[in-house]
Amino acid sequence: MTDRILYVSDLDGTLLRNDMTVSPYSVETINRLVEKGLGFTYATARSIEIARTVTSDLRLKLPVITRNGAVLADNTDGRAIRKNLFSQKDISFLKSALSDIAPYGFVSSFFGEKMDRLYLDAEHSEGLAGYIDYYRDDNSMYAVDDIDSMFGGNPCYVTLIGDREDIEPIYNRLKDAYELEYIFQKDIYRDEYWLDITPKDCTKAKTLLRLKEELGFDKLVIFGDSLNDMSMFKIADECYAVANAIDDLKNAAAGVIGSNEEDAVARFLEERAAEI
C-alpha cells in the first residue's frame, strides 16, 4: 500500500522567485499534479490576504498555513478555517512589554472574519515605513491612536521590523520574559530584521501536524529556505532546502535542491511524481 504524502512548501525564497511571483512553469506543474491527486500546500509567514496576491493562480485543494501557523486558511477564497488567537493574558503582557513598539511594529487582528494590520500613528523605522508604504493602498492596514486600539479585535500576530541593533534587544527581552513563539530573522529581500510573535504552541510545524492527522496523510515532505521553516524540518519525514537557503537549514536538510529562481520545488515534485 502506497503511503499518502503531504508536500509542503514555504513561499518567500522557496516557491516564490526573487520578484515575489510563482513562475508560470511552477503554476502549471503544481496545478497539473494537484489535479492528478498530489497532496500539496504551502506554509508562510504571510497573511492569507497577502499570500493570495501571489498564489491565486494555484488551484490548491488543501488548506494553507499562514501567519507562521496562526491561521489555517482556504487559498481559493481567503476564508480563515481555523484561528489561533492571543489570550487576554498574552495581550496584557504584549501591551506592557512593547511600550517601544511604535517605531517598529504592527498587530494582525481579526475583526469578525476580516484580518486587519494595525500600527501606531508615529514616526517609524525605515523598515516599517517601507512596509506601510508598500501597502498604502490596502485598506486592511491602517494607523490607530493608541496601543489599546492597536490590540483591538482578536489579535493573533505581532510583527516588528527594523535594524538588527533595534530589534534584537526586544527579542532577547521578550523571549526570556514570557512564553510565546518568537521568530527573529533577517528579511530575505531587504537588509532589515523581523521579529514575528505568535501564540504559544503556534508554529508552522504544530499546525501542520494537526492538518496531517486530520487529512489522513502518512508522511510529510517539506521545502524551505529560512529559520521559520526549521520547525517543519524537525517533524518532516523528508526535508529539502533550496540552494539559496540559510546554512542552518541546509545542514538540517536531507538534501539541497535547486534555487527558488530555478523552479526547484515544482521540478522536484514533477520528478517525484514520475517515480510513482
Q: Where are the domains of the chain?
A: 5-83+202-275, 88-198
Is residue 113 within 8 Å of residue 81, measured between CB atoms? no
User: What is the DSSP track for 135-170?
Assistant: TTT-TTEEEESSHHHHT-SEEEEEEEEE-HHHHHHH
Total-model pTM: 0.88
Fold that domain 5-83+202-275 belongs to in CATH? Rossmann fold (3.40.50)
Judged by DSSP in three states, 181 sits in strand
Fold that domain 88-198 belongs to in CATH? 3.30.1240
CA-CA-CA-CA torsion sign (14, 20, 25, 26):
positive
Other Cβ atoms closer than 10 A to 86: 25
User: What is the DSSP track for 87-126?
Assistant: -HHHHHHHHHHTTT-TTTEEEEEEETTEEEEEEESS---H
User: CA–CA separation, 100 vs 35, rounded Å?
Assistant: 49
Given a cut of 50, the residues of the chain with pLDDT beneath it are 1
Q: What is the pLDDT of residue 153?
A: 97
Q: What is the pLDDT of residue 1?
A: 44
Query: Which cell numbers hold the place of 77?
Result: 477564497
For residue 115, the one-letter residue type is M
Q: What is the pLDDT of residue 2?
A: 64
Q: What is the pLDDT of residue 27?
A: 98
